[in-house]
Chain A
Amino acid sequence: MQTAVEVKSFGKRFKKTIAVEDVSLTIQSGEIYGLIGPDGAGKSTLMQAVSGVLRFEKGEITVFGEKIDSEASANRIKRQLGFMPQGLGLNLYPDLSIDENIDFFANLRGVAPEILHTRKAKLLDVAGLSSFKNRAMKNLSGGMKQKLGLVCTLIHQPRLLILDEPTTGVDPVSRRDFWEMLNQLVREEGMTALISTAYMDEASRFNRLSMMHQGKVLDQGTADEIIRRTPGWLIEIESARSRELLPALNDAFEHVEELGDMIRIGGFALQSAEAERRLGMILQDGTESWSYSPIGLEEIFIQKLDNRSQNTPQMRLTENRSSHRKEAVSTDSQDTLIRAEDLVRRFDSFTAVDQVSFDVRAGEIFGLLGANGAGKSTVIKMLTGILPPSGGAGFVAGHNMATSSMSIKESIGYMSQAFSLYLDLTVSENIDLFGRIYGLSGKRLKERHQWVLQIGHLQKECNTSAGSLPMGKRQRLALGCALIHQPKVLFLDEPTSGVDPIGRREFWRILVQLAGELQVAILVTTHYMLEAEHCNRLALMQAGKVVAYDSPKNLKATLKQQKGQVLSLKVSRPYQAQSILESNGYSEVALYGSRVRLFSQEPETVGKDVAALLADKGIEITDVMILQPSLEDVFIEKIESSHSREA
């Protein structure tokens, strides 16, 4: 195989900060190579350097045999290169139609008119955009913008495709369609692709990948290799008495997470047999059911970072318990604290929120999920009384928020997406400021000040300015500030976006603690589908409507009843395997890197059939897994069935 891109000890600094340090990687032609890591990992920097649009000081980058070291040499490879920068549709021209956008990119790239015509028709067809050709780009949905971006980047048939976070903030169906489209085009045109993502669950989509964090590569290879190199196990326990079990589990295992009605424990150093023994002792009577679940890149990422920085504060739920019990508000856990009743919001002719109903009880973490633009923030604004609804009503603790008094609004905690803190003030100054805004003073303010520092583990950072805190700590401070007046209801709008997996895990631990011990009703929005697992119940929004509303467990169980389990096969020639299966009547065969996936009610028998069929065509199967449907699968199913209902 030929080498398409070679990066050798690449390094780049922006003024004083080091963006990327000593990164080396090789991309073979024809593969889909992934850069995976949270914000600030250096993915964009590396991609821009490979694209020849960013100068760098250290290392060497070679693309198709051309060393990229000057504007002139970079120019020589740009003909063969398609680059889509970060930000959904931001590189497109909002006032131009789909057709005009494509024509501009084609003319810019000197695509001959006769080729352009057929190529455009083909790409539009694959993207499913043919019938919207004359629509202005600014009026497209997030998913459509993303596909148009891809079409524009592909119009000149580049040999190397570089896409910077193409799937961030789009809905699960668009995400799946995007990967299908990309797989098809890469296969048909023999392209090489370098793609970055912040979603760890997308790792399986790549042939090979580099896992990055703070400018460094943590590990490289196929997702399977990386997982094999860091052996560990993950057990999910379903229990009705999770709160009782937690202390014992925390003592016995390294990683314990409370996810809705589930507890997930994991370990890397510990042998799984020993883990089973310890678990057996804790569960004893055994009314709980537990099962192994496949370990993902997210867990490995956290494990690798834990090894690097041993001083990361390990927070224990029990730690602050005594101090909280005093402050716990006595509320019946069946109290509905937040209720949305047929909420509707129209902006001119556009309906942003369409008859949304749900309720959130005290002590519950409720997830409001959806892509960017699905209407999540608008719902929150109506529930907090910032925005009057066009129809329906939002209630907090029984009060209609459109008409309620200021004092009720003050009993809400609200943390917005960004900038709720004053970045030039220190941690302590921020806390005091928010405290005084909510009318605290004297001893009371001091007490609450200490509480915020404690819950956010910020004791050491008292005098650091909020702006210089890492995102994870900054979000914990913002959370603390939103809680300074002890609200019973907490609204969190995308609290974890831009936070790395460790920071996210810490953040969720605090939320679980708040819900469990203080009986706070928490409504949280997110576009990380992985985070949905943390919620007791959730609502998935798609284009202003709620398309799924239940607990994660029930949602998955329902899908399992409907469609069965997931059969995942690692095969030698995935593209071929996919088309063979499709032509033999298997529906919804999806491609994940070197694996094909399909749903089946009888995975064992179907597995055998498929294996025979593929072996017949000379395709090797190296691994077979039977997986439970994920929430992502649920969401895709729900969105699609809501589409077909409308159609």
Chain B
Amino acid sequence: MMNLHTVKTLAYKEWLEIWRDRVYFSMAFIFPVVMMLVLGFGLSFDVEKMPFVIVDYDNSDESREYSYKFTSSRYFDYKGHARSTKETETLVAKADIRFVLVIPPEFSQKIKRGQRAQIQALIDGMFTYRASMVSGYLAAINGHYNAQLMRSWAMKNSGMTEHEVQAMLSPVSLETRYLYNNELKSIWSTGTGLIILVMLVSPAMLAALGVVREKETGSIFNIYASTVSRAEFITGKLLPYVLISYINISILCLLALWIFEAPFKGELSLLLVANLFYVASAAAIGILVSTFVKSQAAAALISMLGTMIPGIMYSGLMMPVESMSAEAVVEAHAFPAMYQLEIIWGAFLKGQGWSELWFNILILFGFVLLFWSLAILRFHKRVDE
């Protein structure tokens, strides 16, 4: 049904055109890298180095010691002291700082007297996720300080050693170890995960533009008026974009290792095969889009939105698929992004290989076939206008 010579002719011509059009060619390679770097560094969920200011009305040894617990933390970025909460208002409003720690007068006296001292934290609540993270860290540090006070009190009163006091005060200790991402660096997950987003959007856009460009100039008539079969045309168009995108996804994987310093623990062969099917399915989506539109502007817009939204919302990149609504779960399964994300995270972070993920590969291959066939069915050589 398909004449390989014809497919080769089409693919070679397409490749020559991309290669000679230096602007288009460099865009094809620069766009994914830029998108990956910008989103990778911009989309960090790590709550680290949160800028804050302390208002210390007490100004005692105790208050300074308490403050030190916060200023020395790697999660916070101490910006200095303010004289009153009033002074800090504009700083918070301008988002120069994210929270203010207020130590009231008589903080040291109350502690010494054995009374309860109250500390106030004023947190910028605009970004709820970050605010609750900050509040969690604050509570933990505060708890740590309390424990320390209690320990020294107990040691002083009972004459026990530090170990004995520790065992008595907190008999159960919790040891947490984060699997796959030991240091809980979000850039490991988002950095590698972004590969699936970028390499869904960019192949789709490139391929869609490649076909629609010919519709705009009129050279598509060469195909319409020839004996080239629909499958030959779609395949010939697809191949150069798969090749370019495969080079791109390989570059992005290396970027994840070098720039985002993500580890690679799984099977390389699995990743290499999955990458191929994934970019092929993405490019096929682009070709499918091109069968619906006539202008390059429409092709760019639809292929970008049509891949970016499911790529972000229904891939598991932003939210685990398990915690999505029932409809969203269906959408997630109807798109290749989720399967590739499982493969990428599995191969990079979880150390997984063929035995765990062979089924995903099969599904990705299924998507390639599906989109490719749909594009062939949608493409007609005898058109309405």
Residues of A within 8 A of B (CB): 14, 48, 51-55, 70-71, 74-75, 78-79, 81-83, 85-87, 90-93, 95-96, 100, 104-105, 107-110, 136, 152
Counting residue pairs across A and B whose Cβ atoms lie within 8 Å, the total is 88
In contact, B227 and A96 (Cβ under 8 angstroms) = no
In B194-221, which residues have CB < 8 Å from any A CB? 217-219, 221
In contact, A105 and B20 (Cβ under 8 angstroms) = no
In contact, A91 and B20 (Cβ under 8 angstroms) = no
In contact, A52 and B227 (Cβ under 8 angstroms) = no
**A107's contact among B9, B21, B219, B384, by CB below 8 Å, is which?**
B9
Residues on B with beta carbons closer than 8 Å to the beta carbon of A54? 382-385
Residues on A with beta carbons closer than 8 Å to the beta carbon of B20? 95-96, 136
Given A78-B227, A108-B228, A110-B227, check contact A95 B17 (CB 8 Å): yes
Residues on A with beta carbons closer than 8 Å to the beta carbon of B384? 54-55
Given A71-B382, A78-B227, A79-B227, check contact A108 B9 (CB 8 Å): yes
- Tell me the complex Cα distance, A107–B20, Å: 20
Which of B3, B217, B227, B382: most chain A CB closer than 10 A? B382
Residues on A with beta carbons closer than 8 Å to the beta carbon of B381? 52-53, 71, 74-75
In contact, B222 and A105 (Cβ under 8 angstroms) = yes
Q: How far is the CB of B239 from chain A (nearest CB, A)?
A: 15
Given A54-B383, A55-B383, A71-B382, check contact A78 B225 (CB 8 Å): yes
Residues of B within 8 A of A (CB): 3, 5-6, 8-10, 13, 16-17, 20-21, 217-219, 221-228, 380-385
- Tell me the complex Cα distance, A53–B382, Å: 4
Residues on A with beta carbons closer than 8 Å to the beta carbon of B219? 90-93
- Tell me the complex Cα distance, A331–B133, Å: 84
List 12 A–B pairs whose Cβ atoms lie within 8 Å, in order of A's numbering.
A48-B221, A52-B224, A53-B383, A54-B385, A78-B225, A78-B226, A90-B218, A91-B221, A95-B20, A96-B13, A100-B13, A107-B6
Residues on A with beta carbons closer than 8 Å to the beta carbon of B223? 108
Given A79-B227, A93-B13, check contact A55 B382 (CB 8 Å): yes
Q: How far is the CB of A92 from chain B (nearest CB, A)?
A: 7
Q: How far is the CB of A50 from chain B (nearest CB, A)?
A: 10
Q: How far is the CB of B191 from chain A (nearest CB, A)?
A: 36
Q: How far is the CB of B209 from chain A (nearest CB, A)?
A: 15
Given A53-B224, A110-B227, check contact A96 B218 (CB 8 Å): no
Given A78-B225, A96-B20, A110-B6, check contact A87 B382 (CB 8 Å): no
In contact, B221 and A53 (Cβ under 8 angstroms) = yes
Given A108-B223, A110-B227, 7 additional A-B pairs, CB 8 A:
A52-B224, A52-B382, A54-B384, A75-B227, A92-B219, A95-B21, A105-B222
Q: How far is the CB of B181 from chain A (nearest CB, A)?
A: 46
Q: How far is the CB of B19 from chain A (nearest CB, A)?
A: 8
- Tell me the complex Cα distance, A93–B225, Å: 16
Closest to A86 in B: B218
In contact, B227 and A109 (Cβ under 8 angstroms) = yes
- Tell me the complex Cα distance, A136–B176, Å: 66
Residues on B with beta carbons closer than 8 Å to the beta carbon of A85? 218, 221
Residues on A with beta carbons closer than 8 Å to the beta carbon of B8? 107
- Tell me the complex Cα distance, A463–B222, Å: 43
Q: How far is the CB of B24 from chain A (nearest CB, A)?
A: 9
- Tell me the complex Cα distance, A427–B227, Å: 48
Residues on B with beta carbons closer than 8 Å to the beta carbon of A52? 224-225, 381-382
Residues on B with beta carbons closer than 8 Å to the beta carbon of A53? 221, 224-225, 381-383
Given A79-B227, A93-B13, A95-B20, check contact A108 B222 (CB 8 Å): yes
Residues on B with beta carbons closer than 8 Å to the beta carbon of A83? 221, 224-225
Q: How far is the CB of A131 from chain B (nearest CB, A)?
A: 21
Residues on A with beta carbons closer than 8 Å to the beta carbon of B17? 93, 95-96
Closest to A45 in B: B385
Closest to B21 in A: A95
Residues on B with beta carbons closer than 8 Å to the beta carbon of A152? 222
Closest to A91 in B: B219
Residues on B with beta carbons closer than 8 Å to the beta carbon of A51? 224-225
Residues on B with beta carbons closer than 8 Å to the beta carbon of A91? 217-219, 221-222
**B3's contact among A96, A100, A110, by CB below 8 Å, is which?**
A110
Closest to B19 in A: A95
Residues on A with beta carbons closer than 8 Å to the beta carbon of B383? 53-55
In contact, B16 and A95 (Cβ under 8 angstroms) = yes
Residues on B with beta carbons closer than 8 Å to the beta carbon of A87? 217-218
Given A91-B217, A104-B9, A110-B5, check contact A81 B382 (CB 8 Å): no
In contact, A108 and B226 (Cβ under 8 angstroms) = yes
- Tell me the complex Cα distance, A108–B226, Å: 7
Residues on A with beta carbons closer than 8 Å to the beta carbon of B228? 108
Residues on B with beta carbons closer than 8 Å to the beta carbon of A136? 20
Q: How far is the CB of B232 from chain A (nearest CB, A)?
A: 9
Residues on B with beta carbons closer than 8 Å to the beta carbon of A79? 227
- Tell me the complex Cα distance, A109–B5, Å: 10
- Tell me the complex Cα distance, A95–B20, Å: 6
**B16's contact among A48, A96, A107, by CB below 8 Å, is which?**
A96
In contact, B6 and A104 (Cβ under 8 angstroms) = no
Residues on B with beta carbons closer than 8 Å to the beta carbon of A95? 16-17, 20-21
- Tell me the complex Cα distance, A122–B61, Å: 99
Which of A81, A87, A91, A105: most chain B CB closer than 10 A? A91
In contact, A100 and B224 (Cβ under 8 angstroms) = no
Which of A53, A90, A96: most chain B CB closer than 10 A? A53
Q: How far is the CB of B165 from chain A (nearest CB, A)?
A: 79
- Tell me the complex Cα distance, A79–B227, Å: 6
Q: How far is the CB of B27 from chain A (nearest CB, A)?
A: 15
Residues on B with beta carbons closer than 8 Å to the beta carbon of A74? 381-382
Given A54-B385, A107-B9, check contact A90 B225 (CB 8 Å): no
- Tell me the complex Cα distance, A78–B226, Å: 6
In contact, B225 and A81 (Cβ under 8 angstroms) = yes
Closest to B222 in A: A91
Residues on A with beta carbons closer than 8 Å to the beta carbon of B10? 108
**A14's contact among B21, B382, B385, by CB below 8 Å, is which?**
B385
- Tell me the complex Cα distance, A152–B13, Å: 14
Residues on A with beta carbons closer than 8 Å to the beta carbon of B385? 14, 54
Q: How far is the CB of B122 from chain A (nearest CB, A)?
A: 55
- Tell me the complex Cα distance, A416–B255, Å: 51
Q: How far is the CB of B224 from chain A (nearest CB, A)?
A: 4
Q: How far is the CB of B341 from chain A (nearest CB, A)?
A: 37
Residues on A with beta carbons closer than 8 Å to the beta carbon of B222? 91, 105, 108, 152
Q: How far is the CB of B375 from chain A (nearest CB, A)?
A: 16
In contact, B380 and A71 (Cβ under 8 angstroms) = yes
Q: How far is the CB of A95 from chain B (nearest CB, A)?
A: 4
Closest to A53 in B: B224
Residues on B with beta carbons closer than 8 Å to the beta carbon of A96? 13, 16-17, 20
Residues on B with beta carbons closer than 8 Å to the beta carbon of A81? 225
Which of A86, A104, A105, A136: most chain B CB closer than 10 A? A104
Q: How far is the CB of B7 from chain A (nearest CB, A)?
A: 10
Residues on B with beta carbons closer than 8 Å to the beta carbon of A14? 385
- Tell me the complex Cα distance, A512–B10, Å: 54
In contact, A108 and B6 (Cβ under 8 angstroms) = yes
Which of B224, B225, B383: most chain A CB closer than 10 A? B225
Residues on A with beta carbons closer than 8 Å to the beta carbon of B217? 87, 90-91
Which of A55, A87, A92, A108: most chain B CB closer than 10 A? A108
Residues on B with beta carbons closer than 8 Å to the beta carbon of A109? 226-227
- Tell me the complex Cα distance, A75–B225, Å: 8
Q: How far is the CB of A223 from chain B (nearest CB, A)?
A: 28
Question: Shortest 10 CB-CB distances between A and B: which pairs?
Answer: A95-B20, A107-B9, A83-B225, A53-B224, A85-B221, A90-B218, A91-B219, A71-B382, A104-B13, A85-B218
- Tell me the complex Cα distance, A55–B225, Å: 13
Closest to A90 in B: B218
- Tell me the complex Cα distance, A325–B86, Å: 81
Q: How far is the CB of A72 from chain B (nearest CB, A)?
A: 9
Residues on B with beta carbons closer than 8 Å to the beta carbon of A71? 380-382
Closest to B22 in A: A95
Q: How far is the CB of A55 from chain B (nearest CB, A)?
A: 5
Residues on A with beta carbons closer than 8 Å to the beta carbon of B16? 93, 95-96, 100
